[in-house]
Amino acid sequence: MNNIMTVKDLCLWYGQTQALKNINIDIPEKSITALIGPSGCGKSTFLKTLNRMNDLVQGVKITGEVKYGDMDIFAPDTDVNKLRKEIGMVFQKPNPFPMSIYDNIAYGPRTHGIKNKAKLDEIVENSLRGAAIWDEVKDRLKKSALGMSGGQQQRLCIARALAVEPKILLMDEPTSALDPISTSKIEELASELKEKYTIVIVTHNMQQAVRISDQTAFFLLGDLIEYGNTEKMFATPEDKRTEDYITGRFG
């Protein structure tokens, strides 16, 4: 399998505090990579580094190298907006815009210059189908997205991310605000999406990592402790700390 992203010696500071320490990870294409670890371990920070969402936080300093394909994402001539188009993101809390369902999905394509109505209609339908929510919303595309249930909103946000045809989807604990049924729908969806997309998902839920991911990275206090095949890591963790965590001794 090809690696779509490679991370070398990544360090990150928020002001004086170091949040990530010498992280090295290769992310294989068209697979699901889970990032696990206790709160504050740096997994979300790491995720947000991959599409430079950390740029929005003041006082962040980054060293090391993150490559997307052959491209250094921190290179001064990188267009962050295009990078984020290729590497989409789904957030912890569903965050649809206060617009209609249609406009939510069309927001990304419009941002990147697609104006043709027929083309947009097609993208909206395909994205909603891709996120397995088309049948639920096809009759109310012009209604506000804020009227949907939490689970629907999150799938809408996934559809919205798909609409710009990203290569990678970053998911930051996408099910932590949802009920079990909505959660399982999102998990099923993620498993289907990896046919076409590369997914990196942060999760608090160990079972979720086992259920859906191909490889897992365990973070602790800004260090990457262990990274490898999910089944193998949960069956025979190499590091004592990983074992303690996945058997529920802390966290």
Partner 1 sequence: MKKSHNKFETIIHGIFLILGLITVGFVLLITVYLVIAGIPAIREIGLFKFLFGKKWASTASTPSYGILPFILTSIYGTAGAIIIGVPIGFLTAVYLAKVANKKMKAVVEMAVSLLAGIPSVVYGLVGMLVLVPWVRETFNIADGASLFAAIIVLAIMILPSIISVSLTALEAVPPEYEDASLALGATPIETYFKVSVPAAKSGIAAAVVLGVGRAIGEAMAVMMVSGNVANMPKLFGSVRFLTTAVASEMSYSSGLQKQALFSIALVLFLFIMLINALLNSLLKKEKE
Partner 2 sequence: MKRKAYIWIMKILMWISVAITCGLVVFVIGFVLYKGVPNITWKLLTTKPSYLTKNIGILPDILNTFYIVIATLVVVLPLGVGAAIYLTEYATNKKLVAVIEYAAETLSGIPSIIYGLVGMLFFCEFLKMQTSILAGAMTLVIMNLPTIMRTTQESLKTVPQSYREGAFGLGAGKWRVIRTVVLPSCVDGIMTGCILAIGRILGESAALLFTAGFAHTINGFVDGLGRAGATLTVALYVYAKEQGEFEVAFAIAAILMILALLVNLAAKFTGLYFKKKVE
Site residues (vs partner 2, CB under 8 A): 51, 53, 56, 58, 81-85, 88-89, 91, 93, 95-99, 107-108, 111-112, 157, 160-161, 164
* Residues 136-155, interacting with partner 1 (CB under 8 A): none
Closest residue by Cα to residue 245 from 215, 210, 206: 206
248 makes contact, choosing from partner 1, partner 2, none, with CB < 5 to 8 Å by partner type, with: none
- The secondary element (H helix, E strand) that includes residue 227 is strand 223-229
Determine if 77 is a binding residue for partner 1 (CB under 8 A). yes
- Backbone φ and ψ for 20, nearest 5 degrees, come out as -135, 135
Q: In a 3-state reduction of DSSP, which class is residue 4?
A: strand
CB-based contacts of 147-153 (< 8 A; 24+ apart in sequence): 148/96, 148/101, 149/182, 150/94, 150/177, 150/178, 150/179, 150/182, 151/178, 151/179, 151/181, 151/182, 151/183, 151/185, 151/186, 152/182, 153/94, 153/96
> Residue 88 or 222: which CB sits closer to partner 2?
88
Closest residue by Cα to residue 46 from 231, 171, 179, 144: 171
Q: Are 88 and 78 in contact (CB under 8 A)?
A: no
> Residue 54 or 216: which CB sits closer to partner 2?
54
> Residue 145 or 225: which CB sits closer to partner 2?
145
Determine if 235 is a binding residue for partner 1 (CB under 8 A). no
135 makes contact, choosing from partner 2, partner 1, none, with CB < 5 to 8 Å by partner type, with: none
Size of site (CB under 8 A) for partner 1 = 8
Q: Which stretch binds partner 1 (CB under 8 A): 55-63, 78-86, 214-222, 238-246?
A: 78-86
Determine if 71 is a binding residue for partner 1 (CB under 8 A). yes
Determine if 81 is a binding residue for partner 1 (CB under 8 A). yes
- Which residues are near partner 1 by CB under 8 A? 71, 77-79, 81-83, 86
